[in-house]
């Protein structure tokens, strides 16, 4: 033993070794540091007929290593519903916001098991106090169930909500209407339709420009625009006819259009990771389909959290 070195008695050395081994094992089990988490505060219909609506949080995305990534959202069987919650953060205190403003703070705790496929990612609200709510219940964000619910609000694990774009309803100039009709034709050059609903026999349909109608449109301060067009009327009972669904396009300030997806609803936009660039969040709403889509890097990148109902 060198000068100044302290030698522990054997029992104490043994305890120290066990403590060190336990500390190393605990560190190995500790979860990695989380990035920025993004979710929504939702109003959901009850699980059975006449059950009241309930409020819950849903974990959707994580910003890590420079990219947004979706948490697991699809399960093939009930066994997955019982275990997949382990891949979500156990508890998060969220900032809740809309249109660039923080509305409040809510703490959510992830369910031990998800009861339904459509409830993957849900957190029970465990904090006290008023739950932020905007507007009245309507079917605008009712999704596949077409239920009357409050609009979803963005939940961020950081208080980042700055909205430099300021999206709002705006009319598309005629040149952009013509642009979206051309983009629609490029995507759906051949479409089938029926002469009438009673016949219900699909045949090639030479649809006109007037049959492609603008349903909604939005504009931002930086001259980006969003347009939703729909082909109609559909006179068939077609199981797979994406051409007749709402088609979302983003239009750049230079007039170039970019297809985003079908059957969505605009939720909100903001700089949710505080990197100076905005993200845009949509709700997904299709047949047996729900969830959310996040677009970023000027709509060049996107990530999806998709759930089913059965």
Residue 193 confidence (pLDDT) above 80: yes
Beta strands in 220-274 (DSSP E): 225-231, 247-251, 257-262, 264-270
C-beta separation of 55 from 39 below 8 A? no
Percent of the chain with pLDDT over 90: 78
Which pLDDT belongs to residue 236? 87
The neighbouring-strand residues paired with 67 are 64
C-beta separation of 222 from 214 below 8 A? no
Taken in order 231, 236, 237, 238, is the CA torsion positive or negative?
negative
pLDDT digits (tens, 9 = 90+) for 173-187: 999 999 999 999 999
Q: How confident is the model at residue 15 (pLDDT cuts 50, 70, 90)?
A: very low
Which pLDDT belongs to residue 240? 65
DSSP string over 62-127: EEETTEEEEPP---SSHHHHHHGGGGS-SEEEEEEEETTEEEEEEEEEE-SS-SSGGGTTEEEE--
Q: How confident is the model at residue 172 (pLDDT cuts 50, 70, 90)?
A: very high
Taken in order 115, 87, 144, 79, is the CA torsion positive or negative?
negative
Alpha-carbon gap, residue 31 to 75, rounded angstroms:
23
CB-based contacts of 59: which residues, under 8 Å, 6+ apart?
Answer: 37, 39, 71, 88, 89, 92, 108, 110, 121, 123
Least confident of 17-31, 69-83, 191-205, 212-226: 17-31
Which pLDDT belongs to residue 62? 98
pLDDT digits (tens, 9 = 90+) for 221-280: 999 999 999 999 999 886 667 899 999 999 999 999 999 999 999 999 999 999 999 999
Residue 17 confidence (pLDDT) above 90: no
Residue 25 confidence (pLDDT) above 50: no
Residue 40 confidence (pLDDT) above 50: yes
Residue 301 confidence (pLDDT) above 90: yes
């Amino acid at each position: 033993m060198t000068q100044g070195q302290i030698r522990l008695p054997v029992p104490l050395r043994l305890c120290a070794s066990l403590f060190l081994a336990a500390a190393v094992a605990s560190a190995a089990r500790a979860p990695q540091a989380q990035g920025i988490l993004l979710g929504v505060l939702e109003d959901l219909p009850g699980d059975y007929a006449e059950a009241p609506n309930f409020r819950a949080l849903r974990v959707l995305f994580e910003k890590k290593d420079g990219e947004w990534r979706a948490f697991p959202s699809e399960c093939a069987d009930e066994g997955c519903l019982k275990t997949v919650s382990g891949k979500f953060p156990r508890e998060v205190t969220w900032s809740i916001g809309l249109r660039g403003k923080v509305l409040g703070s809510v703490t959510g705790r992830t369910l031990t098991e998800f009861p339904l496929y459509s409830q993957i990612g849900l957190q029970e609200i465990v904090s006290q106090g008023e739950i932020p709510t905007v507007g009245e219940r309507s079917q605008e964000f009712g999704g596949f169930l077409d239920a009357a619910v409050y609009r979803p609000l963005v939940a961020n694990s950081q208080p980042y909500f700055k909205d430099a774009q300021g999206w709002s309803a705006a009319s598309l100039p005629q040149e952009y209407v013509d642009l979206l009709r051309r983009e629609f034709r490029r995507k759906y050059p051949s479409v089938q339709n029926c002469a009438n609903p009673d016949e219900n026999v699909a045949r090639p349909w030479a649809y006109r420009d007037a049959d492609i109608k603008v349903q909604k449109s939005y504009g931002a301060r930086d001259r980006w625009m969003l347009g939703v067009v729909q082909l109609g009327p559909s006179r068939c009972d077609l199981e797979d006819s994406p051409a007749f669904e709402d088609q979302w396009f983003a239009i750049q300030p230079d007039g170039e259009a970019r297809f985003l997806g079908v059957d969505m609803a605009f939720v909100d936009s903001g700089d949710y990771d505080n990197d100076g660039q905005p993200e845009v969040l949509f709700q997904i709403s299709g047949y047996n389909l729900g969830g959310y889509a996040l677009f970023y890097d000027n709509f060049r990148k996107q990530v999806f959290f998709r759930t089913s109902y059965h």
